[in-house]
């Protein structure tokens, strides 16, 4: 074997002549999935569930809510800019209610009192911490969050609530909601 001064010379000797590979094939980019109108479907489901579930302590509008799912509701009278600011957590949180450790009935009563008290005191942006919860075993579907589902339904049916949205991660993420209430008269 000949004596080579540098590695590149040795490499060329061992590899020999090479030609670049040429092809005319175009690498296709995968198509983007078509958009799904989630809020339209949620609104339709909410209307149906409200008409079918009159019980005060029901799980709310969507029994399909999972632990990591975001909650969101924009009622009539909530303009797009206000809704966007609420979802982005751009309002100062005036008060917080933590529902951890409460039973269903206690939590429902606490929410009603919390909203009424804060609304009367001029507080409009509230935070309710319901937790991510794994409470009800739904068989093959796994465990479902009890309070999260109930809070969703209670807030949707509360006439003083303009809208609500799951919080940003630093405020509790999908285990809490920002709630915007109407001004007291």
Q: Dmax over Cα atoms in the chain, in whole Å?
A: 97
Give the pairing of strands 161-166 and 72-74: antiparallel
- Contact between residue 178 and residue 127 where contact means Cβ atoms under 8 Å apart: yes
pTM of the model: 0.61
Residue 42 confidence (pLDDT):
66
Domain residue extents for the chain: 68-181
- Could you give the CA distance from residue 78 to residue 163 in angstroms, rounded to a whole number? 7
Q: Kindly state the helix (H) or strand (E) to which residue 180 belongs, with its residue range.
A: strand 176-181
- Report how far residue 52's alpha carbon sits from residue 50's, in angstroms, rounded to the nearest whole number: 5
The DSSP annotation for 105-157 comes to: HHHHHHHHHHHHHHHHTT--EEEEE------EE-GGG-EE-HHHHHHHHHHHH
Which CATH number is associated with domain 68-181? Answer: 3.30.1370.110
Torsion of CA 44, 147, 161, 89, to 10 degrees: -100
Q: What is the pLDDT of residue 148?
A: 84
56-94 per-position pLDDT tens digit = 444 444 455 554 578 889 988 888 999 999 999 999 999
Which residue numbers in the chain have pLDDT < 50?
51-62, 67, 137, 139-140
Helices (H), the chain: 7-15, 38-52, 80-87, 104-120, 146-157
Q: What is the pLDDT of residue 118?
A: 93
Q: Which pLDDT does position 134 carry in this prediction? A: 60
**Three-class SS state of 75:** coil
Per-residue pLDDT tens digits for 175-184: 899 999 998 8
């Amino acid at each position: 074997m000949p004596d080579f001064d540098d590695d590149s010379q040795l490499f060329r000797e061992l590899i020999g002549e090479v030609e670049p590979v040429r092809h005319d094939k175009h690498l296709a980019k995968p198509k983007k999935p078509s958009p799904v109108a989630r809020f339209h479907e949620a609104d339709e489901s909410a209307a149906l569930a409200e008409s079918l579930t009159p019980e005060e302590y029901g799980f709310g509008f969507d029994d399909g809510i999972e632990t990591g799912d975001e909650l969101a509701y924009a009622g009539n009278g909530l303009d797009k800019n206000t809704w966007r600011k609420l979802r982005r957590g751009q309002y100062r949180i005036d008060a917080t209610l933590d529902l951890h450790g409460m039973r269903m009935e206690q939590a429902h009563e606490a929410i009603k009192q919390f909203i009424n008290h804060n609304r009367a005191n001029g507080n409009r942006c509230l935070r309710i911490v319901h937790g991510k919860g794994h409470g009800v075993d739904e068989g093959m579907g796994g465990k479902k969050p009890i309070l999260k589902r109930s809070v969703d339904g209670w807030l949707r049916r509360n006439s003083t609530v303009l809208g609500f949205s799951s919080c940003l991660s630093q405020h509790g993420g999908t285990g809490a909601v920002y709630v915007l209430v109407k001004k007291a008269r």
